[in-house]
Structure 1
Amino acid sequence: MKWGRLLQVFYIAGGLLVISILWFTTARPIVVLPRMRLSPGYGLQDASNSLVTSDQQRGLLTLYSFAYTRCGDDCRSMYAALQEIDAALADQPTRQPRLQFITITVDPARDTPEALAAFALPFDPKTVQWRWLTGPQERVNAVASGGFEVLVQPRQDGSLFFTPLLVLVDGAGVVRASFEGSQIDSQNILSQLALLYKEIERSQGANRLAYEAAHFFACYP
């Protein structure tokens, strides 16, 4: 009799667990951005020739982009998206950790620290810090092409063909979203950034288990 009751309790508990899992995966009460992969480590130079490392970005949210100072029309839509994101965040309460823009040049031979210092940014950011980074060609290639998987090819006219790409990295150095081509839309990026902020702000204490469950069951947008 005792074993019968134990089995009954076991089956009821198992059934409730299955129902809970089905409800969580279908209703998706919590939606999170995926933890895609670790972002590449790097040590590059900024416009003041100071060393900037990936480790220094821990604890911050970083939206990486890839361009070069002579980019022109090829980068216009990407710059417009960055400007719209900056303007939208300027109208919102400050949230922590703060977001920063980092652009890694894909033409480091010309875009030296001195060239970056003389370069006028396409727009004056209102609230988001924006830094450009450069370095030796081999190191930049390892980060941009090898780490972030940016395709870069020289054109006959001296310009560069490359894949417009924005990559959102969290404070732990994990890639949480990437935006390519038509996905580089400020509203799309802002909505996913809002999801990440929501997770950071709410996944504390007991809530952390619920957010980890959302990752486990791939409750992604």
Structure 2
Amino acid sequence: MSADRRSSKNPLLVSLLILFLVVVAYWLYDTFFRSNSLQIKMNSPAFSLTDLNGETVTEARFDGKIRITSFIFTRCPDICPATTANMVALQSELQKQGLFGKEVEFVSITFDPVNDTPDVLQQYAERLGIDQRGWTLLRGEEGEVKTIASKYNISIVRLDDGLFAHSVTSLLLIDGKQRVRNIYKMGEEMDNEKMMSDIKTLLEEQQRDS
């Protein structure tokens, strides 16, 4: 084989080697880094609602903090209280680690404002063990809350008996940049270990980005 023929193949071999290295590097990144991240599901919409003290709360209050958001109504006979009870258990674990109310907050939004007055929500919080130092209960007009929920692809329907049916998969993990990073099932199917793991993943992500 002539020298000219060998030299013409060298650039091809170099190109193939570079391509191989790029593929290997991508695989290593995907295996050891990206697998530990959470995809961005959607942007979390802006809102303006009222807390139990009558003060206006917007999404800006939670900038820089990780939050779990649920949509509830206190007359719910099953899914909502089960969800809140599981969130209280998660609250306890976060308190032990010094994260609750500091780096991680909870938000529960009622879509039954006629029944769920501030007094009713306060009683609900006390009965179920909600720590309002890191857990904000919010209310607004029924139509307003339904509009906010619909932006998360959550459906809320008023039934003939005055109660509500709503999407079971409607528990939201939102990062400090107002982005939904995971969506969980409510009620007895909640996986607190998975939620805690995801929270830790976002905390590590925020530390890397800071």
TM-score interval, normalised by the smaller of the two chains:
0.7 to 0.9
Structure 1's unaligned 5+ residue stretches are: 205-221
Retained in 2: the 8 A contact 1:90–1:126? no
Radius of gyration: which is bigger? 2
Q: Which residue of 2 aligns with 1:36?
A: 41
Deviation at 1:95, TM superposition (A): 8.1
Retained in 2: the 8 A contact 1:60–1:99? yes
Q: Which residue of 1 aligns with 2:177?
A: 172
Greater than 6 Å deviation, 4+ residue runs: none
User: Cα deviation per residue 1:116-167 (whole Å; 9 max; x = unaligned)?
Assistant: 35554443346961111111222111102x2122222223332222224210
- SS of aligned partner of 1:166: strand
Deviation at 1:192, TM superposition (A): 1.6
Greater mean alpha carbon deviation, residues 150-159 or residues 184-193: 150-159
Name the CA shift for 1:172/1:3 in 2 (closer, same or farther; >3 Å). farther
Q: Which residue of 1 aligns with 2:64?
A: 59
Name the CA shift for 1:95/1:34 in 2 (closer, same or farther; >3 Å). same
Where do 1:141-156 residues align within 5 Å? 141-144=146-149, 146-156=150-160
Indicate which of 185, 200, 208 corresponds to 1:202: 208
Cα RMSD of the aligned pairs, angstroms, is 2.7
Name the CA shift for 1:175/1:115 in 2 (closer, same or farther; >3 Å). same
Which AA in structure 2 matches 1:163? S
TM-score normalised over the length of structure 2: 0.82
- SS of aligned partner of 1:177: strand
Structure 2's unaligned 5+ residue stretches are: none
Aligned length: 201
Deviation at 1:115, TM superposition (A): 4.4
Deviation at 1:63, TM superposition (A): 0.4
Name the CA shift for 1:110/1:94 in 2 (closer, same or farther; >3 Å). closer
Name the CA shift for 1:120/1:29 in 2 (closer, same or farther; >3 Å). closer
The separation in 1 between residues aligned to 2:110 and 2:119, in whole angstroms, is 13
The separation in 1 between residues aligned to 2:46 and 2:116, in whole angstroms, is 21
TM-score normalised over the length of structure 1: 0.78
The separation in 2 between residues aligned to 1:126 and 1:17, in whole angstroms, is 50
Is the counterpart of residue 191 in structure 1 residue 197 in structure 2? yes
The separation in 2 between residues aligned to 1:158 and 1:107, in whole angstroms, is 9
Q: Which residue of 2 aligns with 1:162?
A: 166
Retained in 1: the 8 A contact 2:91–2:100? no
Greater mean alpha carbon deviation, residues 155-164 or residues 172-181: 155-164
- SS of aligned partner of 1:85: helix
Deviation at 1:7, TM superposition (A): 4.5
Which AA in structure 2 matches 1:171? G
The separation in 2 between residues aligned to 1:74 and 1:49, in whole angstroms, is 27
